[in-house]
Amino acid sequence: MKASYFLVAFLALASFASAFDPSPLQDFCVALNGGIQDGVFVNGKFCKDPKLVVAEDFFKHVDPGNVVNKLGSKVTPVSVNELPGLNTLGISLARIDFGPKGLNPPHTHPRGTEILIVIEGTLLVGFVTSNQNNTNQLFTKVLNKGDVFVFPIGLIHFQFNIGYGNAVAVAGLSSQNPGVITIANAVFGSTPPISPEILAKAFQVDNNVINYLQKQFWYDNN
């Protein structure tokens, strides 16, 4: 019986561990961009030969983002794709710049929890739960400079600058490559596009509404 309990506990622990970025088995594994010669494949990226690693592999400067766009915001990611030294370390971040009334629209990170701190300005933030209690509950909070908020992994969330000046936030994510699915872009701007008939029924609107929305997002994404 004890052996059975041990097996169940072990399998549960193994399942939990495999759901997130694995713990590294070495000090670092700098991602090798380009060819694979002199590289070792680990966790989605080939590793650079440790003898060829330099300090610049762990460094990146992040400039303010250009917020002159339809949303009035700019997300500048620093994941393993931008900073090779993050490979296998299970962490990344993003700088988010907002113009007045700028929005980081509803989106989700399929592979990472997000923790956000406001550096400047005032943001209205929120996330929506899954329907585990037969309802999708919305949690919102107004954040000011120095405030911190967490968005659980996989849940739809957003940030909106409710101030009249610019705002800046920095988000930490619990994956080297958390991914991002922007809801409107994915639904109305996919390639190839989702059938208007399907979306019209899902959203309970006329096909003309879906056609209009797809035109807005498809051309932006393609």
Say how many C-beta atoms besides its own lie within 10 A of residue 156's C-beta: 17
Lowest mean pLDDT among 43-52, 129-138, 148-157, 183-192: 43-52
Q: Is the dihedral of CA 5, 6, 12, 16 positive or negative?
A: positive
Q: What is the model's pTM?
A: 0.83
Give 163's DSSP letter: S
Over the stretch 6-19, which tens digit does the pLDDT of each residue have?
443 434 434 444 44
Strand order in the sheet with 92-98: 73-78, 92-98, 167-173, 114-120, 148-151
Which of 88, 70, 71 has the alpha carbon at shortest distance from 79? 88
Residue 42 has a pLDDT of 56
The confidence score (pLDDT) of residue 60 equals 97
> What pLDDT is attached to residue 21?
61
* pLDDT at residue number 132: 87
Q: CA-CA distance, 211 to 142, in Å (whole number)?
A: 35
Please check whether residue 170 is in contact with residue 92, taking contact to mean a CB–CB distance below 8 angstroms: no
Is a pLDDT exceeding 90 seen at residue 33? Answer: no
10-24: b (≥16 Cβ within 10 Å) or e: eeeeeeeeeeebeee
Closest CA to 171 of 110, 135, 118, 220: 118
Does 64 sit behind a cis peptide bond, omega within 30 degrees of 0 on the bond before it? no
